[in-house]
């Protein structure tokens, strides 16, 4: 007695190894993968790349960049390149890198893609604190979009935050290279800013230079503890502060 062999279903044929799949099965597999990826991408856009929502965060980090270190590193990377605006003309010490919304763990970014166009008058008004148009536009795209503030209000907030933090006098007009420890920089800022503690800040460094000081502030611009930020404190025994030029 002969039994007829049942033809395999399309699903059954498509369970074979990809290398042995018939052409119609390959098309089926790739169609499913494409549909899944498209759904994931659309969900990411709808949720702000990780469901970050403007205005929904816990505190700010005011990042102050030591401009002479930035300029020295820029020259080392490309000696023949024309120096950026903040490295020519007026001498800068600490400049505002940005005011960054933060979670207790992690941080939101690029909450609106693409970001609204930034008014050039706002850019010009901020160059005394953030002396690089490119930096201002980057902060706009990456951090303003998560602040929940109007454009002018966000940059006003940066100015207010910068006014809250006093720069230690010994760093204001540094004329000679200075070798310091992360603890000494922290101590200087704590001494100069009543209410600030070592738990409210971090000192950042590169391979050999001080790069930034980061201060944690509440939404009302009060100093506050931030364990995740503090854990990133520079671990080098010493670092160089190039002079202000």
- For residue 63, what is the domain's CATH number? 3.90.730.10
93, 167 in Cβ contact below 8 A?
A: yes
- Tell me what percent of the residues of the chain surpass a pLDDT of 90: 65
C-alpha distances in Å from residue 225, one per residue of 6, 62, 165, 232 = 70, 13, 15, 13
91 and 40 co-located in one domain: no
Does 44 have pLDDT greater than 50? Answer: no
Q: Which of 179, 186, 191, 165 is nearest to 232 (CA)?
A: 186
Does 74 have pLDDT greater than 50? Answer: yes
164, 221 in Cβ contact below 8 A?
A: yes
33 and 92 co-located in one domain: no
174 and 76 co-located in one domain: yes
- Does any domain span residue 83? yes
Task: Give the domain extent around 35.
Answer: 10-46
Structure pTM? 0.76
Specify the DSSP element, H or E, that contains 75.
helix 67-77
Mean pLDDT of 12-24: 53
Q: How far is CA 230 from the centre of its chain?
A: 16
- Does any domain span residue 51? no
pLDDT of residue 99: 97
The SS3 of residue 164 is helix
- Give me the residue label for tokens 């049942």: 6
- Does any domain span residue 199? yes
112, 48 in Cβ contact below 8 A?
A: yes
Mean pLDDT of 172-199: 97
- Does any domain span residue 217? yes
- Does any domain span residue 118? yes
115 and 165 co-located in one domain: yes
Mean pLDDT of 125-130: 94
139 and 230 co-located in one domain: yes
34 or 174, which is more confident: 174
181 and 223 co-located in one domain: yes
Phi, psi of 181 (to 5 degrees): -105, 155
C-alpha angle 156/154/69, rounded to 5°? 80
233 and 186 co-located in one domain: yes
Mean pLDDT for the chain overall: 84
- Does any domain span residue 177? yes
201, 166 in Cβ contact below 8 A?
A: no
Cβ of 118: how many Cβ atoms within 10 Å? 17
- Does any domain span residue 88? yes
């Amino acid at each position: 007695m002969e039994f007829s062999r049942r033809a395999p279903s399309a699903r059954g044929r498509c369970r074979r190894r990809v290398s042995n799949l018939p052409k119609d099965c390959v098309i089926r597999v790739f169609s499913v993968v494409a549909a899944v990826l498209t759904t994931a991408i659309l969900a990411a856009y709808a949720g702000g790349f990780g469901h970050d929502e403007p205005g929904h965060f816990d505190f700010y980090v005011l990042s102050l960049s030591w401009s002479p270190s930035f300029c020295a590193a820029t020259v080392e990377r490309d000696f023949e390149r024309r120096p950026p605006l903040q490295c020519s003309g007026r001498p800068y010490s600490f400049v505002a890198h940005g005011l960054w919304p933060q979670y207790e763990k992690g941080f939101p970014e690029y909450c609106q893609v693409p970001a609204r166009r930034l008014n050039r008058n706002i850019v010009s008004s901020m160059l005394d604190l953030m002396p690089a148009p490119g930096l201002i536009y980057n902060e706009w795209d990456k951090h303003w979009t998560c602040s929940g503030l109007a454009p002018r209000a966000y940059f006003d907030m940066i100015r207010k935050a910068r006014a809250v933090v006093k720069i230690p006098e010994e760093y204001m007009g540094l004329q000679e290279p200075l070798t310091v420890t992360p603890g000494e920089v922290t101590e200087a800022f704590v001494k100069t800013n009543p209410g600030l503690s070592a738990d409210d800040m971090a000192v950042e460094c590169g391979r050999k230079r001080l790069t930034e000081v980061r201060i944690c502030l509440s939404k009302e611009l009060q100093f506050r503890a931030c364990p995740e930020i503090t854990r990133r404190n520079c671990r080098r025994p010493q670092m160089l502060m190039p002079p202000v030029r």
